[in-house]
Structures are given as C-alpha cells and as structure tokens.
Structure 1
Amino acid sequence: MTRTIPGFDYHRVPVADDVALNVAVAGSGSPIVLLHGFPQTHLMWRHVAADLAADHTVIVPDLRGYGDSDKPTAEPDTYSKRRMAADIVTVAASFGHERFALAGHDRGALVAFRAGLDHPDAVTHLACLDVLPILDMWEVLHGTTAAVGFHLYLMAQPPGLPEQMIAASADAFFAYFLDQWAKDPAAIPAPVRAAYLDACRAAVPSIVADYRASATIDVDHDRADRAAGNRLSMPVTVLQQDWGAALGFEAAALWSSWAPNLDHRTVDAGHFMAEEEPGVVAAALRELGRR
C-alpha cells in the first residue's frame, strides 16, 4: 500500500512529551512546510512536494492524529489548532528552520492559519487551500446550504456517539468525501485512496477530536483574535474552487478581513486541488514565495 512519497526521507519528530509526527523531507533551498487535509495524509502533496523539492527544502508531516503520526487521547486542547500549529513550528525548527513558508489544505489550512496568527515571526509566507477560517465558516453556514457541512455538525457533538457511528462504517464515511469532493476522481488512484481509507479507519477518535476542537476551543481562539484586531502580517495566498458564490458569501472578502496582503484565486478543480491540479498549486506557491 502506498504510504510514502518517492525520493523523500522519513523521520519521527517529537513535538511534545507524548507526541511524535511522521515527517517526509526532501530538497534544498528555502524551506516550505505542507500540511494535508481531510480525509487524507501527507500523501496528498506527493506531486506538489516533488515539484517544489527542485528548489526548496520541502517538509511534509502527517498532522497529529492523522496518518502515521501519534494520536494522543483528546483533552480539551489536544487537537486545538493552536496546539497543532505549535507542532509544526517545532518540526521546522528540528530541521534547523526558525522561519519558513507554510501551505495547508483543508484541515491543514486551519492549522496553517493559526500558525500565521500565533507565530508571525516564524511563518514568512502563508497559503491556504479551499477552506475558510474557522470562525467565518461557522458564521456563513446556515439554512439548507449548511447541509454540505453535515460532517462538521456530526463531529461537533460530545464524545461517544460520533465516534461510534463513524467507526461502524468508517470506509463508507471517509470514502464519501473522496467521492463527493473530487472533480477528477482519477487524481486519487486506487493505491492512494486505499492508503487514505486505511489511515482514517485507524484514526477515528483523533479525527473526530480535531473536528470537535473546531466547534469549541478553536472558535474561542479566533474570536479572541478578531476582538483584538490580530491579522496575518505575512503575504497570504488563498486558492479556492468556485464554491463561495454558490453558498451565498464572498470568500475573498472574508479572507481579506484577516489578511491585508492577500492574493485570492479561484482554481478550476475540485476540493483536492493539490492532486487534481498540482502544477497550478505548485506555481502559485512559488509565486507566493516571491512576494
């Protein structure tokens, strides 16, 4: 089963007393860290990472709770984006990089967003793929259009029932998103799909805990930053498919309230754009690095 990116070296990097992350590294040059989304692992970056490694040091971890990284039992902040962002700063520093560019997709983009707010001296450039900041996401979901985010509401429930329901039909649950969110299903070949499902099946409690944090502690952190007027000080690129208008809001306007130095682009792809349009994504990340 496909679990690694060819040409990358793998490391286990301790980020806390009880947590180590699985991290792939290759290339040389200015560093960039790539964070995966749901329901995936670091493998979602396989094409983009290989491309960028020609002129960058590319660091690609599995987030805590996902893939081959450790999955600690959830306490209130175990899977907060603040804690997960601190993991990433520790990972980069372990390879000698106190400053680095950071790109995230989906869940990884939420971690990247929090890293940009909490660690502005470390994150030089920030890219977020196909997501809204957590607070904005909850504020725009309403009425029947919120049905697209049914999983957000399911996994926001107290511990117990969500984990039981998802574990009882894990492959069907996680495969649903791979099927529904891909504009080009061929972009996720069978061995990679199998690796995603295998990883998710083994991580139901931690995946649910990650989502639950985004309905609780992560919202509190975003509200505190909004109240304080904290914004992203670095150049920010946001790549999104054309879903904002369909849901009744202007995604670029929401992002610009957090990111004064924003380049917002629409990509002709499904949700999994790093796999469906890797050349477009890699080119956008290189352009971001020149801003």
Structure 2
Amino acid sequence: MSYVMPQDFVSQMVATGEKKLFTSTRDTLIRSFMGAALLTMGAALAVTISTTTGNPLLGAVFFPIGFIMLYLMGYDLLTGVFTMVPFAVLARRPGATWRGVWRTWGLVFCGNFAGALTVAVLMAITLTYGFSTPPGEIGQALGAIGESRTVGYAEHGAAGMLTLFVRGVLCNWMVSTGVVAFLMSKDTISKAIAMWMPVFLFFYLGFEHSVVNMFLFPSGLLLGGDFTLVDYLVWNELPTVLGNLVGGLVFVGLPLYLTHYRTRPERLRVGPEGPGEPVKAAAEDRFSTPVG
C-alpha cells in the first residue's frame, strides 16, 4: 500500500484548503449537501446495527462507510473545512482572506444541515410507513439518543456544557485526522483503511460530531423524542460546532502545519570534530520559503 510523507501531504492539505476556499457557491452547497447525506446514511446504518444486534462496537465498525465514500467522491463536511480552509490564509495564498474562510464555513454548514435533515426526514418516513404507524425499535433508539444527548447534558448544567464542548473537541481531533488521512496515500484501499481508524474511534467513544447530530436530533424529534428544538440547538449543536472547530484546528491542522510546512532550521550537529553543518533539506526554513 502507498504512503505519502508528512511534508508532502501537509503541502497538499494547504492546497486543498485553498481550492475549497475558492470553490463556487453552487458547487460548495452541492458537495456539502451530498457529504452530509452520505455521512448520515452511515450513522443510520450504525444505529440500526447497534440496535438490532445489541452490540455498539459492531455499529461503530461500519459507521465509517459513509465517511469514506463521501471523501472518495470529493464531497465536504464542516468538520473537514474547519481544519483545511484556514491554512490558505496562513500560507498567504493570493486572494485568501478570513472573510472567505467564514463564507466557506457558513456555506458548508448550510449544505450539511440540508443534507442531514433530508436523510432524517426520509429515514423517519421509512421507519413509520409515512408517519402512519408508531416508530419501531430503531425509531425509538433514535429518539432516546436525542433525549440523552440534550436533556442529559442540561441536567448537569455548566458541567454538562463543558463535557459537551470537550466531546466536540475530541471528536474533530479524530475526524480531522481521518480527513487528513485521505491525503496520506495514493491508492483507494490505503485511503479507506487510514480514514477508517480514527473515525471508528470517535464513534465508538461517543464523541459529538456536529454533522452527524444534524441527522440524529431532527430524526429523534420526528420520531417522538422527548426534547425540543431549542434543547437540540443550545444543548448540543452549537457547543458541538464550537468544539469541532477547536478540535480540528488546534489539535490537527496547526500541529501539522507548523511542524511539516513552516518548519524551523535543524539544530547543528556536533560530532567528535566539532559542530557540523545540518542536512540542507532538513534545514530548509519553510516559513520563509513555503512548500506548494
């Protein structure tokens, strides 16, 4: 299986962020709509497997299917653009501005929400025969998820809000690692395996993903979950979005960017005969001469 060195895939990460920053409004909305739709179909699969088998581990194993497919098809998630897009500005790419970053984040959020909500409505229809029958076991499980991860946090007050935020941070630490993993290889099998590992971890540990929640909570409301739209927004979606932003940018994007793109000169080597010259390639100052 192929492997791309960190210096190379981080340069590609910056180039990818630049490309997404200048993608047209129409294409950004289409790609983010379809990205959320595929991701949340994977979430529906995972909930179905976990509920019918009683084994959450098995559900987590299959959840990354949607994630892998959406990136192989060139679609977008808010969690990924949180990590990628800002580096077009930091790398001083021509025309890249923070206003453009906010525009891209906003468009992807809207597209993701529309895609996830569409799947939530379609799944609610299939689970209730067009809302003509009460939800079955899987529908009840979706409603229970919505209650436990909104009202459940609210019961703990500030401590619950902190926990929710931290779970959002941890989530996108893993998910954005999976996004970057797409760039770590050149063949499809290698990409799929590399992306699967961190995404499986996040889902099984129960961290909070803003786009997955755009499906889970609306579907829970449609299927009779005992919580409100305000509960969902205040006690899940908005803190999760903020946590996802911090997790992807601070724990994935910035460390890779600083240590593999804008590296500092290597320390001088000291041998038996005194100080020597550092290896030229390793000593390249990428701050003054950025790659890509």
Relative to the length of structure 1, the TM-score reads 0.27
Relative to the length of structure 2, the TM-score reads 0.27
Q: Compare the two structures and name the one with the higher helix fraction.
A: 2
Larger Rg: 2
Q: Which has the higher contact order (CA 8 A, sep 6+)?
A: 2
